[in-house]
Structure formats: C-alpha cells, structure tokens
Amino acid sequence: MTQTAQQMLIDYARERLGEKGAIVDPADVAPWLVDWRGRYRGSAAAIIAPATTAEAAAIVGRAHALGVSLVPQGGNSSMVGGSVPPADGSALILSTRRMNRIRSIDAAAGLAIAEAGVILATLHDAAGEQGMRFPLTLGAKGSATIGGLTATNAGGTQVLRWGTMRGLVAGVEAVLPDGSVHDGLAPLKKDNRGYDLNQLLIGSEGTLGVITAVTLRLVPAVAARAVAWVGLADPQAALALLRRLEAATDAIESFEIIPDDSLGLVLAHIPASRAPLNGSHPWHVLIEAVATDLGHEAPAALLERLLAPALADGMVQDAVIAANEAQAAAFWRLRDSLSEAERAAGPAAQHDISVPVADMPRFMIDAACAVEARFPGTHASGFGHLGDGNVHFHVRAPAGVDPVRWYAEQAPSITSYVNDLVIEAGGSISAEHGIGQMKLGELERLSTPARLAALRAIKQAIDPAAIMNPGKLVRLAPAGAAP
C-alpha cells in the first residue's frame, strides 16, 4: 500500500459519495483517532463515510483493488482499542455514521431492521414508540452503534434474561472484504445451509467485513419496573440471592455486583451521586425486575416479597427499592458511572473476564487476594454481571505512580498474571468487550493451537489480503512461520 493508493481511494470516495463522504480535515478526523479510555492513538489520512450499502460496497471493492486497509468504526466506544486505526497511518477509517436509518420496525413480528450506524439509544426510543423494546443496554448507549454492537457481540446489563447480541440478531447484511454484499437480513428461524455467515460476522470486530444493517429481535415494552439496591457481605451471598430470585421468578433482568470501594469512587468522582443505603456494606448488588403487563404482581411488590426473607435470614444486610423512576435512574447511574469514576481515579489494568457462574464468587475473592499479594500496593476488585459469570476485574495502580510508566512497565505483567488465573479457572480473557488490539497478544499466548489455527484460517479465507481492521483480533502468521 502506498500513500498514492490511499489518496486514490480518498479521491474516489469524494467523487462517489460527495464531500460528506470523505472527511480529510485533520481537526475533524482527530477525535476519531483515539479510544474512549485514551489508551490508543492512531493515525489516518481520512474518514470515509458511505451513506448506503451500495456506497459501502463500492468503497470496500475499490479499497480491495487498491490494497488499502480500512478500519470499520461506529461510535468508537470500544474498550479494547478495536476501532482505532494503526499508528503508522497505514489504514483509513470507514465510518458508518451516515448509515443511520431504521429501515423498519414490525411490532407484530417483534423485529426491527437498523442500519449499522444507528445509535443504540435511538433504537431504544424508536422501538419504545411502537410499544416494543430492544432488550440490550450498556453504559455507552448514547454512542455505541448497532454495527459496533454486532461486530463485538456486545453484552451489557440484560444478558441474564435476553442474552448477548448473538441471540438478539436475527439477520445481518454486510460488505465482505472484496466488496461483495452478503444479504443475510431475512429473519429465518431455520436455515441449515452449512456454516452460518451471520454468526461468523457477529463478534468479528471488523476483521471480516463491514456490517451495514442488522435485523434485531424486539420484545414487548416494559409496563413497570422496579430497581433495588442491596448491601451484602460477599459475592457468595450475592450469587445465593440470585439463585433464590431466579427460582422464584423469571422477571429479573439485571443483577449487577459492585464492591464498596468502586461505589466509593463513583461517590467521589461523579457529581450529584448519593449512596442508596445508609451504613457501609462490603458488597452491593443492583437488581432490576420488570413486568410487561400490569395484570401480574407489580415488580416492586415482587422484589419486596422476595427480598424480605433474605433480609430476615441474613442473606442480605440491607436493601432499598427505588421509590420512583427518578430514584431508579439514579441507582442505574451509579452502576453506569463505574468505568468513568475509575478512569477519573487513576490508572488501572482492566480485565473483562468470565468464568463459570458458580465459580465466580470464589474467583473474585481469591484472584483479588492473589493479585494484591503479588503486586504490592495495587487494589484489585471486580464489578458487573455476576449472573453471567462476567465481571470487569480491575487492578488499580498504587497511589502516586506515573501513569505512562505504570502502564508500560507494570500493567502488562499484572494482566498476564490475571489472565493466567482466568485460564486456570476455565474462563475467557474476553467476556464481552472483544479482543481488539489490547488483547491480541494475550489471545495468541493463551489460545490452544486449534483455536488459533481456526481463527487464522477463517481470516485468511475471507480476507486474504488482510485489508479489514489490521492488527485487531487475529494476525495472519507471517509466511513460513510455524502455526
């Protein structure tokens, strides 16, 4: 690839898409060259922004012919540097920002077709207007796009009941690396034509093509919800409570665990935040229960009925049910602000990990003790989706360290140590954020030869010129290298 080839693609984009389709002013490009956490900084001569599938196909086809690499980008909320272009300027960004139409919402069928650049919160609102909802949400809902969520097989806070994007996507349309279009939007309940290309594209992190539109499953809108904040002694008590709730009802949508020190960071760094409970508790859980019709027991009454015995027998230390929607939103804001508060508090090595659900409480405690003993001065704890066996296990740096040096010199060995513990526990080093550039080395270090060989063979088959999102998720072995 030469600078000339990139310039030829930019010229072609300007001619084919108009001025809005080729953004070259460095001031307009700059905000899209750095990730949300500020950990990865890339370089790109332009952002190419097609507005339709046909335009995206034309751009990718021309990039393929010219040998120009492309980095698909949606809301740039990736937690693993997945949407940041390489630092050497060897790729252009292909943004889906202009492919932002909701093509249809069919409330009766429970389906929506959204283009890749539709922002999650926009889809939530549009579905709500039709008495429906898309049951996946996360802290970045104001910027994360349907294409990005699909490309990362995102999870979020309702996986407990509704699963990840893999379960919520009923069809995918995508431009493959040679510019051809895969039309898999039809919501087929049964389709046994061999390998499932839609599922391959879900979670492919932009390395197998550009997702241009997605058919999504909708569920009936919530008629009432209740949000409880519970204080308890340890993660074991939290899992016992979850099991008890699940045995009694299928109305629980979210069950998020939060250590007291993480709540403390939110209270310290996020304006207007208040602790829901009086007194101090080592651990907290946020629980949401919903009802889709008002004929059943109201969710607040349900939670009250189920939490009362847990309080009486000491399984939980204290609990409060949000008195109104504003309070419920305030509880959720505490949960959704955890990453932001931690970012404000200083450097941390972050690990989005999973182990079997039943093993997670013990893992959280044992791994935190092991890490703190091995790396004195650090503080390790996990928060998040306990019911999915997925927590964000973060190791905060000792106070007063130089962040740049700490990230360069200390964080990698902490991460390797944590990942080794995860693998020993039979878990995954990426539960929901993907691999991106952040976890590529660790994926290679810790994957079985069978997994690595299969990942590389798939990449080689679909993107042999390796123009799609170079340096993310999977690297093709250099010619002649041992697999």
- 215 belongs to the binding site for ligand FAD (CB under 6 A): no
Please say whether the beta carbons of 394 and 265 come within 8 A. Answer: no
Between 63 and 149, whose beta carbon lies closer to ligand FAD?
A: 149
- 36 belongs to the binding site for ligand FAD (CB under 6 A): yes
- DSSP class of residue 425 equals T
Which part of the chain contacts ligand FAD (CB under 6 A), choosing from 143-151, 266-274, 298-306, 408-416? Answer: 143-151
- 145 belongs to the binding site for ligand FAD (CB under 6 A): yes
Encoding tokens for residue 197?
């290309």
Residue of 21, 50, 75, 179 interacting with ligand FAD (CB under 6 A): 75
What is the number of the residue whose Cβ is closest to ligand FAD? 148
Q: Which candidate, 13, 94, 40, 11, places its Cα nearest to that of 407?
A: 40
Between 73 and 354, whose beta carbon lies closer to ligand FAD?
A: 73
Q: Which candidate, 107, 132, 131, 104, places its Cα nearest to that of 118?
A: 104
- 78 belongs to the binding site for ligand FAD (CB under 6 A): yes
Please say whether the beta carbons of 262 and 381 come within 8 A. Answer: yes
Between 73 and 381, whose beta carbon lies closer to ligand FAD?
A: 73
Residue of 57, 93, 116, 322 interacting with ligand FAD (CB under 6 A): 116
Which part of the chain contacts ligand FAD (CB under 6 A), choosing from 319-327, 358-366, 398-406, 431-439? Answer: 431-439
115 phi and psi, to 5 degrees?
Answer: -75, 160
Encoding tokens for residue 175?
């431009």
- 79 belongs to the binding site for ligand FAD (CB under 6 A): yes
Output the CA angle 228-232-233, nearest 5 degrees.
Answer: 165
Between 201 and 300, whose beta carbon lies closer to ligand FAD?
A: 201
In DSSP terms, 217 is beta-bridged to 111
- 350 belongs to the binding site for ligand FAD (CB under 6 A): no
Please say whether the beta carbons of 216 and 126 come within 8 A. Answer: no
Shortest Å, Cβ 18 to ligand FAD: 20
3-class state of residue 93 by DSSP: strand
Encoding tokens for residue 227?
């949000």
- 53 belongs to the binding site for ligand FAD (CB under 6 A): no
Question: Which residues between 190 and 209 bind ligand FAD (CB under 6 A)?
Answer: 205-206
Q: Which candidate, 80, 67, 72, places its Cα nearest to that of 47?
A: 72
Encoding tokens for residue 93?
């960004």
Strands 69-73 and 91-95: parallel
Residues that bind ligand FAD (CB under 6 A): 36, 71-79, 82-83, 96, 116, 138-140, 143-145, 147-149, 151-152, 154-156, 205-206, 210-211, 339, 432-433, 436, 469, 472
